[in-house]
Amino acid sequence: MKSKILVLLLFSFFNSYSQKIEKKIGDFKITEESFQAENKKKISKSDFYFDKSGKILEKIKFGRHHYRKLNIIGEIEQYSYSDIKLLFSKRYVSSCRNCSFTLYFSKYIYDDNKLIHENVYRGESDMLFMSLDYKYKPNSKEIHSNSSTYIENKYDDQNRITEQSQIFEDTKKVRWKKEFVYAINFQANKFQTYYGDGNENTEMEIIKYDSQKRIISKEVIRDKSKTFFYYYYAQNGIIKKIEESENYNDKYELKYTTNFKIKKREESVDSLTVEKINSQLIYGISM
């Protein structure tokens, strides 16, 4: 029985890598696995590879849109840098059990140290799929794409985001807005839509931090529901677990648990590397 399982896993692995996708290995490998609390069923799995400074090199996501089994790779993202600048990335995606991968790759262009263009191409050719233009103003940044709307971010004097909006290119009307308020070890975010269709949406986030500025909890409040997230850290400071609970009759019930397991080549991890790794694992943001 074990031999049959091994053969099936190997078949899935080689089928996934039929395009001979080059694998990147870093100084840190972190595996993220999420489980349903009720029955301990694993619902997602991803592998992350980081270099010794904390920059992400590769992310592998298991399971596909039309084939949810976690013994087969569904998406691979790879990143290339020049010093600290992200210059090039690849994204391989497959949606069904026997589907081949579709390749997307992005090129990043800078003016001095500011990202000004991101061009996304599809396939092995240089066919442009999407482009993003970044425009900078005092205490603000705009992100324009080939769509009817753009994103505007506003910042305070400490470079903390204070407002994020989706705005129509032609009318300049706001489609939705998110506002950020900061205090000591505390943050409150308010999200509000302005669709004008009678189905406006409001959402609040209440975030708490510890003395090391690490997130320790987040409460998401919607019209008829509340969701609570707790964050736990390993001794080296890297995130090790996130618990997600939902509110029923004024009681929180644990719904999902996400565990992070680290395999590293070096024992010591400096605080800046830890911060970079956590920003990617928790928020999906590279620093």
For 106-165, what is each residue's pLDDT tens digit?
Answer: 999 999 889 999 999 998 677 899 999 999 999 999 999 989 999 999 999 999 999 999
Average pLDDT over residues 249-262: 91
- Give me the pLDDT at residue 265, please: 62
Higher per-residue pLDDT: 247 or 245:
245
Asked whether the CA dihedral 117, 118, 122, 126 is positive or negative, the reply is positive
| Predicted pLDDT at 25 | 73
Residue 221: Cβ-neighbour burial (10 angstroms; 0-12, 13-18, 19+): middle
Helix (H, G, I), strand (E, B) or coil at 91: strand
Q: How far is 266 from 201, CA to CA, in rounded Å?
A: 47
The pLDDT assigned to 267 comes to 62
Whether the per-residue pLDDT at 5 is higher than 60: the answer is no
> In 94-185, which ranges are E strands?
102-111, 114-122, 127-137, 140-145, 149-155, 161-168, 174-183
Residue 91, amino acid: R
Residue 244 CA to residue 43 CA, distance in Å, equals 14
